[in-house]
Amino acid sequence: MSLSLLVGALLAAAPSSPYLDQQLTGAPYCYDPESPLLHEAFRRPKPTPDTCVDSAALAEDVRFLHQLLRTTYSGWPELLAHRTFDPDAFFQDWSAKVAASGPTVSFQDGVLAPTIAIREALTDNHFGPSGLLGVLSAEPRLAFREYQADAPPGLQLTSCDANTVEGAQADTLRVAPVLKPDGSRGQRLTVSARGGGEARTLRCGDTSVPLTVRPVHASRKFEPKDTYTYEPKGDVGIITIRRFSGPPEAEAGLRQFVADAPKHRKHKLLVFDFRGNGGGDDSYVYQWLDTMVRGPWFSTGEVWMHGAFYPCFVWNSRVQRQAMDGRLDTPEAKAERDAIRSKWPVKPEPSRPVFDNGRVEGHAKTPFTGRIVVLVDRNSGSSGESGAYALHLATGAPMVGERTGGFLTYGNAPSFVLPRTGFAWVVPNKRNFFAEPVEGVGHAVQVYLDAEDLERPVAELLPRLRKLP
């Protein structure tokens, strides 16, 4: 028997659930940190499309996932309202096909293909098997690419119609200035479109504007010690945040970022570098803003699913992080969990949507009066996007670079371990509302940089960034 088949068989027969007894917590989906299945879920190698999966185990897990989504997934109401996609029928058919596929089914046929079908019905870059969201977001049937051109002199921008661009999402026609290396400025036209090809054509009245695909630069990996860095340069402070989560060393750096706010306040210009920030917990930005902004400001409105997953969100996030770091059994990890567990059990509540209008109140005794610029790129995702956007909304800071990753409409994305196969599945439980489309196409920037400039250190970009209003 192959290793993948053996693992599938062992997991299918595993007697322990990855979840605690509901009577202990008040909710059905709180992780059991002593479960062997949970210990393995976040540390074993990622499956490949050819990995063989036990069909009976996967069919059971599809039924488990179906029930989970009905009470927890923030995108479920929109799937129910879909004109041509029946989610209940889809999951029943998915489970039946897997069960009838023989002893095993490939990960491609049993997991990836159905996930792509769901995401074709509802664009949600967070939804899917944990560790493979980047693979799915690059899938040609799901991915939007950015097509651009500098606007010709005298072009009537109001005459441009993105409906003329093949595969375009029409309301992603965006116009913003671009900062050139020589200090000059132009107007950059951008349309996000699905499908392959290096070129598209945009019609602006009687004029045809050729668009070319914006080059994509590879994401970079960063060490936990580099999660947060602060570099004072006279009247400029450069704040780099590579991620909003990680092992204890990274979390210590994020706490230091908040604690350093008094140092940051002394500068006339703060440049935040969120390029490559793949996300995590954007509450660190909100804590920082609370010390720098006085009075109300509005973030995005949101609806989150409350009930079936309450009070597991904080607990599961902490247990998952400990499992990923391989430290579930350490005294420090147990102490972290005990602090959360002390509030259990809670009274079970029915699953229901809860609305938050996004109003935030800043409590700064000495508000920051300088300017802020935020650098973002295509690899700024999830909280790496929402953190940048919060700075923009709270302070008026321009977002500079290129559009973000587009992991935002469906957020607060915990993972759930499927109890028979042990696959971890990301299921957002919050729906954010924006004035323009964001999921898959990212936040628009107020100022573009050319793709090659996005590889440059902040210090090399400072002469141009200083000139921004």
Contact 433, 298 (CB under 8 A): no
pLDDT < 50: residue spans in the chain: 1-14
> Which segments of the chain belong to CATH 3.90.226.10?
224-465
Answer whether the bond into residue 345 is a cis peptide, omega within 30°.
yes
Distance, CA of 447 to CA of 247 (rounded, Å) = 34
Q: Which of 424, 386, 433 has the alpha carbon at shortest distance from 405?
A: 386
Residue 14 has a pLDDT of 46
* CA geometry: angle 65, 71, 76, nearest 5 deg: 80
Answer whether the bond into residue 18 is a cis peptide, omega within 30°.
no
The number of CA neighbours under 13 Å toward the Cβ of 237 is 20
DSSP reduced 3-state for 181: coil
Q: Which of 421, 270, 287 has the alpha carbon at shortest distance from 360?
A: 287
Residue 7 has a pLDDT of 43
The residues, ordered by sequence, that sit 6+ positions from 312 with a Cβ below 8 Å of its Cβ are 25, 27, 29, 30, 31, 414
pTM: 0.92
Pick the CATH number of 224-465 from 3.30.70.3450, 3.40.50.2300, 3.40.50.12780, 3.90.226.10: 3.90.226.10
Tally Cβ neighbours within 10 Å of residue 237.
Answer: 22
Which helix (H) or strand (E) segment holds residue 122: the answer is none
Distance, CA of 168 to CA of 171 (rounded, Å) = 9
The number of CA neighbours under 13 Å toward the Cβ of 371 is 11
Burial class (CB in 10 A: 0-12, 13-18, 19+), 163: exposed
Tally Cβ neighbours within 10 Å of residue 311.
Answer: 18
**DSSP string computed for 367-386:** ---SEEEEEE-TT--THHHH
**DSSP string computed for 126-146:** T-EETT-HHHHHT-TTT-EEE
Per-residue pLDDT tens digits for 63-116: 999 999 998 999 999 999 999 999 999 999 999 999 999 999 999 999 999 999
**DSSP string computed for 293-345:** -EEEEE--EEEEEESTTTTHHHHHHHHHHHHHHT-TTSHHHHHHHHHHHTTPP
Contact 402, 455 (CB under 8 A): no
Structure-token pair, residue 180: 């050139």
Per-residue pLDDT tens digits for 222-237: 999 999 999 999 999 9
Distance, CA of 396 to CA of 164 (rounded, Å) = 33
